[in-house]
Amino acid sequence: MSKGYGVGQVQSPGNGDSSVRLRVLSYNVHGQRDDVDALAEAVRGMDPDVVIVQEAPRRFRWRHKCAALADRLGLVVAAGGLPALGNLLLTSLRVRVYHTWCQQYPLTPGRHLRGAVFAECGIGSARFALAGSHLSTDPTERPGQAALLKEALAALRLPVVVGADLNENSGGGAWRTVADGLTDAAAVVAGGASRFTYPCLEPRDRIDALFVDPRISVLDYDVVDTEQTRRASDHFPIRADLLLPA
């Protein structure tokens, strides 16, 4: 199926025919506590290669629930769930997954456990890494979690795509830690960095982010605000079309 990549909105990177296009969503699905039919319709309509999910199933029968979510969205589970504390990577059959692992951040008593999920993937001649995380709402916890996530990202050798709910606006300390050395996909497209992602009913914050390795070109970026996405979750999904180096 053709994805209709919106290359006209940014300068063409000129990487040649050997580069590979990838459509990525980063989406906090709010524990599927909203309209799951609208969620499925919205995601299927965007036809992603990868969905980096926050607030995915992480408790009783989490494997079955993650598989059911993937099936509803027309994708397959690559990694995550309980071992990543609700972070989940879903892919289309176009994406080959070679290696996956999960990370759990130290628990602060009385707070929610948080973590991250990682995968090494490929499409044709292009190899890349995926990462997803959901940082704490507690401003005393976030910096340490961001530092642990950044340490894991720094160890990667493949070009990486990172989707995260950082629970703070751009410019915050945890945001700057994760973003260091990476490209904020929103900043590439005119007006992208001013598009709020949360909450859907009265958007006022950009706490959801998609960062990419400098070796990856951002062709298009959008915060998808539609009737469906307003019913599907309390966060808007981020969609980006990327060009991977071969």
Identity of residue 77 = V
What digits encode the pLDDT tens for the residues 181-232?
A: 999 999 999 999 999 999 999 999 999 999 999 999 999 999 999 999 999 9
- 124 token code pair: 């044709």
Helix (H) or strand (E) holding 8: none
Q: Pick the residue with more confidence: 109 or 155?
A: 155
Contact 21, 5 (CB under 8 A): yes
User: How many residues are there in the chain?
Assistant: 246
**Rounded to whole angstroms, how far apart are CA atoms 195 and 180?**
21
- 60 token code pair: 């009783």
pLDDT average, residue stretch 90-102? 98
Helix (H) or strand (E) holding 131: strand 126-134
pLDDT for the residue 28: 98
Contact 246, 18 (CB under 8 A): yes
**Rounded to whole angstroms, how far apart are CA atoms 87 and 163?**
10
At residue 55, does pLDDT exceed 70?
Answer: yes
Contact 66, 57 (CB under 8 A): yes
Query: For the chain, what percent of residues have pLDDT higher than 90?
Result: 89
What digits encode the pLDDT tens for the residues 127-164?
A: 999 999 999 999 999 999 999 999 999 999 999 999 99
Q: Pick the residue with more confidence: 6 or 99?
A: 99
pTM for the whole structure:
0.93
**CATH code of the region 18-244:** 3.60.10.10
pLDDT for the residue 208: 98
Q: What average pLDDT does the structure give for the chain?
A: 93
**Rounded to whole angstroms, how far apart are CA atoms 4 and 203?**
27
At residue 15, does pLDDT exceed 70?
Answer: no
**Rounded to whole angstroms, how far apart are CA atoms 234 and 128?**
30
**Rounded to whole angstroms, how far apart are CA atoms 80 and 88?**
4
- 61 token code pair: 């029968």
